[in-house]
Each structure stands twice: as C-alpha cells, then as structure tokens.
C-alpha cells in the first residue's frame, strides 16, 4: 500500500522544471546531488500515470517542507508533458516554498554545462492533475 504524502496540491501547486540532457537518469541524479548537495533516492511507490511507468527519484527537505521529484518525462506509453523539443526529465517541486526553490534551482542548472537547457514552466501552465498520483 502506498504511503500518503501530506503535501496539499491545491494550496501549494507544484512547480515544474523541464530538463534537457542526453544523460541517463542516474547520471542526472548524480549531478543534481553534487550540484545541489542533496541525496535523491528511488521513489518507494509505484505510480500509474496515463503515459505509463516513469523512472522517479525523490528528495525531502524536512526543514522547508519541500519534496522534490525527478521524473523521466518519457514513459512506457508516451511522454508526460509535451514540449518542443521533448524534455528528457521533469523536476517537480511541491510544498509551501516550492516557487522560490524552483527559481533558484533553475538558475543553477542553466549555469551548469552538464545540462543542455532547463525551463521553468509558468505557474498554472500545466495541469496539476498530471502529478496527482505523486501526492496521494
């Protein structure tokens, strides 16, 4: 049985950062861990998205009540978020201080040559229902 995540998606809509790189998810996680001094780990729950199964890693900032998810955008049934060119990964920030963290991380990723590009979607540009299963 999946454990419940207490983050309220309606009160604090998630921020979504698209990452463009040719690297595999374990290399992206390694680079994010190094660059941001965090420790992404495998997400313990199976999440059934309409676009199929996706690789998911997560990290919880307990002091700021922010959860970060690194998700492979391409699933077994297609992509989760359509972008041109297609984003390889999505970094999802959820919690009360998500917007501030997302902006900071976006600027850090844009400065690092490991990533070809990083794009923060405007608040409300994506349906939060896409990610609802992460929070239940």
pTM for the whole structure:
0.82
**Is 133 among the domain residues?**
no
Tell me what pLDDT residue 82 has: 83
What domain range includes position 28? 15-113
Is the predicted pLDDT of residue 23 greater than 60, yes or no?
yes
At 19, is the pLDDT very low, low, confident or very high (cuts 50, 70, 90)?
Answer: very high
The number of folded domains in the chain is: 1
Pairing mode, strands 56-61 and 66-72: antiparallel
What is the spatial distance between Cα 133 and Cα 119, in angstroms, rounded to a whole number?
A: 23
Is the predicted pLDDT of residue 9 greater than 60, yes or no?
no
**Residue 9 belongs to what H/E stretch?**
none
What is the spatial distance between Cα 87 and Cα 118, in angstroms, rounded to a whole number?
A: 9
What is the spatial distance between Cα 49 and Cα 106, in angstroms, rounded to a whole number?
A: 25
**Is 81 among the domain residues?**
yes
Most confidently predicted of 51-55, 112-116, 120-124: 112-116
Q: Is 33 exposed, middle or buried (0-12, 13-18, 19+ CB in 10 A)?
A: middle
12 DSSP 8-state letter: S
The 3-state DSSP class for residue 113 equals coil
**Is 74 among the domain residues?**
yes
Is the predicted pLDDT of residue 127 greater than 60, yes or no?
yes
**Is 66 among the domain residues?**
yes
**Is 125 among the domain residues?**
no
| Residue in this structure with the two tokens 């390889």, named with its chain if needed | 88
Tens of pLDDT, residues 86-104: 899 999 888 888 888 888 8
Q: Mean pLDDT over residues 50-66, rounded?
A: 79
Q: Token pair of 25, please?
A: 């998810």
Residue among 91, 116, 114, 115 at smallest CA distance from 102: 91
**Is 106 among the domain residues?**
yes
**Is 33 among the domain residues?**
yes
């Amino acid at each position: 049985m999946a454990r419940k995540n207490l983050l309220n998606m309606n009160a604090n809509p998630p921020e979504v950062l698209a990452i463009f790189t040719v690297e595999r998810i374990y290399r992206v996680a390694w680079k994010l861990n190094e660059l941001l001094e965090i420790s992404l780990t495998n997400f313990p729950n199976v999440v059934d998205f309409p676009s199929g199964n996706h690789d998911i890693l997560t990290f919880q900032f307990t002091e700021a009540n922010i959860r970060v998810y690194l998700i492979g955008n391409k699933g077994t049934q297609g992509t989760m978020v359509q972008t041109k060119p297609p984003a390889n990964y999505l970094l999802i920030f959820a919690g009360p201080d998500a917007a501030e963290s997302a902006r900071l991380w976006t600027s850090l990723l844009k400065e690092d040559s490991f990533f070809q590009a990083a794009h923060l979607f405007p608040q409300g540009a994506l349906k939060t229902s896409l990610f609802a299963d992460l929070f239940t």
